[in-house]
Amino acid sequence: MRSILFFALLGILTACTDTKVTSENPTESNGQSSYELVLASEVNWEKLNPARGDKSPQAGTLWGDRKGSVPTGFLVKFVDGFSSPPHIHNVSYRGVVINGLIHNDDPDAADMWMPAGSFWTQPKGENHITAAKGETNIAYIEIEAGPYLVLPTEEAFDSGERPVNVDASNIVWIDQPGISTATKGAQVAYLWGEPQGNQLYGTLIKMPAGFKGKIQSVGSSFKAVVIQGEPQYFLKDVSEVKTMEPGSYFSSAGKSAHHLSSDPGMESIIYVRTDGNFDILSSQ
């Protein structure tokens, strides 16, 4: 069975739709930045594995093209009680649970049901099963190259990568330097990669209930997916507001700022993939 790599994550910490709504934020645009917003309600769903017919999970692309050769991020939706047969994938992927409970492990492993906010990785070529339970089961999946294929176990191989399962209760949250949660400051948790240079890395951001402020990014690519809560996103010089349910996606390219707030009674968790530094600034 996979181990929960709590101390590995701690080590990292110490080391460091197809239907889209596009908008420019005139208060922050420098003529080079571009913004994109996809609400969860706008995602187009299709069969993840058409060969399984009605038993296939549903997939909804947020960015990229999982049938092509480019990096891609997409949602996967499972029915209650879903359990896949043993299989492999031709590419490695990362996953974050958004709704329900997900189990992803060796076919003979004991169940490890990961709740919303949990993170896991699945190496290419490794035999495994995926199962889900709950009225609504959705996960965000990310690959670095496609196409994303489901293949039989007879084609299994050892890529040298090892899987990681991290339950939400083992995520390590830290305050931003000099900003305490007591002042409605956000917290971050580093999941993969290292935030230095121009390398890609992945983090979770937790905005406390009642947070209001912005995320300022200087990376050439900034992609974010709502995992929990219903944060509000302010468009068009912060005069238009969109409520983002879990599974919603927003992004930018180049120096940019995303104006956000959390419901007074609900914290928000957002997964971020970027290749540059970012700051989460409270306006309160």
C-alpha 80: how far from its chain's center? 21
- Lowest-pLDDT range of 11-15, 51-55, 190-194, 200-204: 11-15
pLDDT at 183: 53
pLDDT at 53: 87
CA angle 87, 130, 108 (to 5 degrees): 75
Cis peptide bond N-terminal to 147, omega within 30:
yes
Name 26's Cβ contacts closer than 8 Å, sequence gap at least 6: 236, 237
Q: Is the dihedral of CA 102, 105, 108, 113 positive or negative?
A: negative
Give the residue carrying structure tokens 């969109």: 242
pLDDT at 23: 35
Q: What is the token pair recorded at 258? A: 């995303």
Domain 1-41+173-284 sits in CATH at 2.60.120.10
33: confidence class by pLDDT, cuts 50, 70, 90: low
CA 8 – CA 162 distance, rounded (Å): 13
CA 61 – CA 56 distance, rounded (Å): 16
Q: Is the dihedral of CA 197, 203, 209, 212 positive or negative?
A: positive
CA 150 – CA 175 distance, rounded (Å): 39
| pLDDT of 2 above 90 | no
| Contact (CB, 8 A) for 74 and 60 | yes
Q: How many percent of the chain have pLDDT more than 70? A: 85
> pLDDT (tens digit, 9 = 90+) per residue, 140-190?
999 999 999 999 999 999 999 999 999 999 999 998 765 555 556 899 999
Nearest to 24 by CA among 226, 261, 238, 243: 238
| Contact (CB, 8 A) for 66 and 147 | yes
CATH topology of domain 45-169: Jelly Rolls (2.60.120)
| pLDDT of 13 above 70 | no
Tell me the average pLDDT of the chain. Answer: 87
40 phi, psi to nearest 5 deg: -60, -35
Q: What is the token pair recorded at 206? A: 């937790």
Domain limits, CATH 2.60.120.10, in the chain: 1-41+173-284, 45-169
> pLDDT (tens digit, 9 = 90+) per residue, 74-127?
999 999 999 999 999 999 999 999 999 999 999 999 999 999 999 999 999 999
Rounded to an integer, the average pLDDT of 56-64 is 96
Of 50 and 76, the one with more pLDDT: 76
| Contact (CB, 8 A) for 201 and 190 | yes
| pLDDT of 249 above 50 | yes
| pLDDT of 32 above 70 | no
CA 266 – CA 279 distance, rounded (Å): 21
